[in-house]
Amino acid sequence: MAQLNQLDLTNLSQQELQNLRHIIDNHKTMAAKLNDYASMCQDNQIKQMFTQAATSAQTTVEQLTNKL
């Protein structure tokens, strides 16, 4: 997602916008599931791994949403 700042998302077609919304929704779902998995973990390293992945997915959601 490092190159996201260089993307011009202002002239997307309706299909592209719909696809982007699906990607955002999928990342939201992924973040929620990863947070749930983290809450169930007893091993701190695995819990941290799930938490970091959830944070990354949520960051992607926020970055893409802010570009729309």
Alpha carbon separation from 7 to 35, 41, 68 (Å, rounded): 29, 37, 11
Split at pLDDT 50, 70, 90, the class of 1 is very low
Residue 44 has what pLDDT? Answer: 96
pLDDT tens for each residue of 11-22: 788 899 999 999
Average pLDDT, the chain: 89
d(CA 28, CA 66): 14
Alpha carbon separation from 35 to 6, 8, 24 (Å, rounded): 30, 31, 17
For residue 3, count CB atoms less than 10 angstroms from its CB and return exposed for 0-12, middle for 13-18, buried for 19 or more.
exposed
pLDDT tens for each residue of 45-55: 999 999 999 99
